[in-house]
Amino acid sequence: MLFHVRMDVAIPHDLDPGRRAELIATEKARAVELQRAGTWVHLWRVVGQYSNISVFDVDSADQLHQILWSLPLFPFMTVTVTALTTHPSSLSEVDG
């Protein structure tokens, strides 16, 4: 199942700088791990914001839920999830 996920991050400004750096580093490592596993298939930055647009390929909504909750920055995120399906006019659908 494919899901479009927007993540808007708002780390508190008064968070200890060392803790902030640690969270960002572990978040990056987790994102790389999920991309290498083929689960996090697209990751784009939203220009001018601490946000991203991503596409996840998972077996279920429950699996996506588990993944999102495993992200180190999740407590500081506003997340919007949209389930995706193929479009009948998509060239990939026409080509079979």
pLDDT digits (tens, 9 = 90+) for 41-93: 999 999 999 999 999 999 999 999 999 999 999 999 999 999 999 988 888 76
DSSP alpha helices (H): ranges in the chain? 17-36, 61-70, 91-94
Which pLDDT score is estimated for 60?
Answer: 97
Tell me 37's DSSP state.
Answer: T
CATH number belonging to the domain at 2-87, selected among 1.10.3720.10, 3.30.70.1060, 3.40.50.300, 3.20.20.100: 3.30.70.1060
Q: What is the pTM assigned to this prediction?
A: 0.89
Of the chain, the end-to-end C-alpha distance in Å amounts to 18
pLDDT tens digits, one per residue of 8-53: 999 999 999 999 999 999 999 999 999 999 999 999 999 999 999 9
* Domain parsing of the chain, residue ranges: 2-87
